[in-house]
Amino acid sequence: MPNKKSHPSALHEKAGISPPEMISSDSVKNIQQFRKLQPSSAELVEGILAGNITALSRAITLVESTNVSHLAKANEVINACLPHANKSVRIGITGVPGVGKSTFIEAFGKYLTGLGKKVAVLAVDPSSTISHGSILGDKTRMEELVKDKNAYIRPSASGETLGGVARKTRETITLCEACGFDTIIIETVGVGQSETAVHSMVDFFLLLKISGAGDELQGIKRGIMEMADAIVINKADGDNIKKAQFAKVEFNRALHLFPAKKSGWTPTTSSCSAITHEGIPEVWKTIEQFLELTKGNNYLFEKRKEQNQYWMLETINEQLKLNFYNHVQIQKLLDSTKKAVQNDEISPFAAASLLLKTYFKD
Ligand SMILES: Nc1nc2c(ncn2[C@@H]2O[C@H](COP(=O)(O)OP(=O)(O)OP(=O)(O)O)[C@@H](O)[C@H]2O)c(=O)[nH]1
Ligand SMILES: [Mg+2]
């Protein structure tokens, strides 16, 4: 009979094998390390106020988080940063795709850091809420600015709604200002309602255009013209210089048809080339003149106060809507009620009031 000991087999296991550790000690160490790396809100604030970019980026990620448990911490950080914010100039830049916004911001941003300014570039990009960060391409358009230690570029937050994305950008402005950035540039694509949102968070609104075939005013939304503090015709280089001059005259004429602005500022038109940098310093000069005027007549500060109220109301609207559509009973009833409305079984108003009643009952 063979000796069991000298011929171990699976059927006659004696010594046994200790089961593998359920959790590897390496992973535990990593997780502990990671937890330690998650700074408290006080640590984040301390970092931001010291001008630490890593702390700033982390705080922005926190603000952008859709995780409800992050909300309280994000609010703590923002509230602590608030007394240190508000000291920058906020510039909104809009224009249709391809007009040269990113190239312009690269040239303009470099010019400003050359003057010793600290520039933060943010974006409200409704398309990125679908494609999750189309501005990534922008970072390659802003090659020089990305490398500049006095510049900070943050791609657009992604989110469910434009309102939500814009609100996060508004909060990000506060964080950037507390971190010492004195010039905030917010880029937006001229689609949807994003210009209105950006206009509601900046001091100066710049519309970038290119010269066309003489029909400059075609297809331009009246509302955008009305919001603009300056129209800058980009790509005024090479064969385009003459056309840009014509466009400037035409825009100038059109701007004079609008009623005077509350700020007391008369919108300007100019041309530039984001490639040759011709006309870029003049854009900054215009903004300086605007600031001098609106600080002098107090408009700048009054407008910021109004904007703060706007964002409070916007946030309430946004949260109420979200809450309504996420309500369990509403989710159950919404589709069938929509169908009933479609089939003329109930009027849209009666249906709305029925759903609202259901919502407010709980
Ligand atoms: N000649 C000339 N070309 C320019 C100028 N500015 C931008 N471009 C070119 O125009 C194209 C579009 O420029 P972008 O800066 O990507 O335009 P954008 O407005 O940011 O575009 P989206 O991000 O798609 O909305 C690029 O090929 C640029 O090189 C300029 O001043 N002169
Ligand atoms: Mg761009």
Span of 81-95, 176-190, 208-222, 335-349 with lowest mean pLDDT = 208-222
- Residue 162's pLDDT is 79
Which bin fits 298, alpha (ψ -120 to 50), beta or left (φ > 0)? left
CATH of the domain at 255: 3.40.50.300
Mutate to test the pocket of ligand 1, among 94, 102, 188 (most ligand atoms within 8 A of CB): 102
Asked if 226 and 258 count as a contact pair (C-beta separation under 8 A), the reply is: yes
Together in a domain, 52 and 162: no
Together in a domain, 144 and 175: yes
Asked if 188 and 74 count as a contact pair (C-beta separation under 8 A), the reply is: no
Residue 254 inside a domain? The answer is yes
Please say if the pLDDT value at position 22 is more than 90.
Answer: no
CA distances from 84 to 88, 94, 179, 291 (A): 10, 28, 8, 20
Together in a domain, 251 and 156: yes
Task: Report how far ligand 2's centroid is from the alpha carbon of 4 (Å).
Answer: 76
Distance CA 182, CA 106 (A): 17
- DSSP line for 142-180: THHHHH-TTEEE-PPPP-SSHHHHHHHHHHHHHHHHHTT
Distance CA 66, CA 60 (A): 12
Asked if 81 and 175 count as a contact pair (C-beta separation under 8 A), the reply is: yes
Q: For ligand 1, which residues put their CB under 6 angstroms from it?
A: 95, 97-103, 138, 141, 189, 234-235, 237, 273-275
Mean pLDDT of the chain: 86
Percent of the chain exceeding pLDDT 70 equals: 83
Give 177-233 pLDDT, tens digit per residue: 999 999 999 998 766 678 888 999 999 999 999 987 556 666 677 788 889 999 999
Domain assignment of residue 65, given as a range: 33-79
Residue 23 inside a domain? The answer is no
61: confidence class by pLDDT, cuts 50, 70, 90: very high
Together in a domain, 221 and 341: no
Give the N- to C-terminal CA distance of the chain in Å, as an integer: 79
Ligand 1 atom 10, closest CA: 100
CATH of the domain at 43: 1.20.5
Provide the number of structural domains found in the chain.
3
Together in a domain, 94 and 240: yes
Residue 10 inside a domain? The answer is no
Residue 305 inside a domain? The answer is no
Together in a domain, 180 and 235: yes
Together in a domain, 210 and 275: yes
Q: What is the CA radius of gyration of the chain?
A: 27
Percent of the chain exceeding pLDDT 90 equals: 59
Together in a domain, 47 and 130: no
